[in-house]
Structure 1
Amino acid sequence: MRHTAALHARRSQRGLTLIEICIALLIVAVLFSAVVSGVGAVTGTKAKASAAELAGVIRSLYDTAALSGKTCRLVFEIAGPKSEERTRYHAECAESGVTTSRDRDTAIRDENQARDDERRQGRDSRHNFNQSNSGGAPSLQDLMDQEQHRVEQSAKFASYTGEEVAARELPGSVSVSVWTRQQKTAVDQGVAYLYFFPQGYTEKAQVYVRQGDNVWTLVVSPLTGKVNVVAEELEVPRS
Structure 2
Amino acid sequence: MAVIALLATLAVPAVEAITGANARKAAGELAGSMRALFDTAALRHATCRMALDLDKRAYWAECAPGRAGISANPDREPDDRTLEERFPGEKDADVRRILAKSAFGQFQDRLVQKRELPGTTGFGPVHVEGRRDAIESGTAYVYFFGGGQAQRAYVPVVDGKNLYTIVLEPFTGRARVVSGKVEVRE
Scaled to the shorter chain, the TM-score interval is: 0.7 to 0.9
Alignment partner of 1:61: what SS? helix
> Aligned pairs, how many?
164
In 1, the alpha carbon distance for the partners of 2:173 and 2:149 equals: 7
- Is 2:118 the partner of 1:171? yes
Give the equivalent residue in structure 1 for 2:39: 63
* Aligned residues: CA RMSD: 2.6
Alignment partner of 1:222: what SS? coil
Give the equivalent residue in structure 1 for 2:85: 117
Report the alpha carbon displacement of residue 183 of structure 1 after superposing the two structures with TM: 2.0
In 2, the alpha carbon distance for the partners of 1:153 and 1:216 equals: 32
In 1, the alpha carbon distance for the partners of 2:82 and 2:167 equals: 29
Query: Which letter does structure 2 place at the counterpart of 1:70?
Result: A
Report the alpha carbon displacement of residue 182 of structure 1 after superposing the two structures with TM: 1.5
Query: Which letter does structure 2 place at the counterpart of 1:117?
Result: E
> Comparing both structures, which one devotes a greater share of its residues to strand?
2
Alignment partner of 1:209: what SS? strand
Unmatched 5+ residue regions in structure 2? 70-79, 88-98
Change (3 A) 1:154 1:236: closer
Query: Which letter does structure 1 place at the counterpart of 2:34?
Result: I
In 2, the alpha carbon distance for the partners of 1:57 and 1:204 equals: 15
- Is 2:69 the partner of 1:93? no
- Mapping of 1:33-182 within 5 angstroms? 33-79=9-55, 86-98=56-68, 117-118=85-86, 155-177=102-124, 178-182=126-130
Change (3 A) 1:200 1:76: same
What are the superposed Cα offsets for residues 129-169 of structure 1, whole Å, 9 maximum, x if unpaired? xxxxxxxxxxxxxxxxxxxxxxx999411111112111111
> Comparing both structures, which one devotes a greater share of its residues to helix?
1
Larger Rg: 1
- Is 2:180 the partner of 1:232? yes
- TM-score normalised to the size of structure 2? 0.77
Alignment partner of 1:91: what SS? strand
Give the equivalent residue in structure 1 for 2:75: none
In 1, the alpha carbon distance for the partners of 2:82 and 2:102 equals: 17
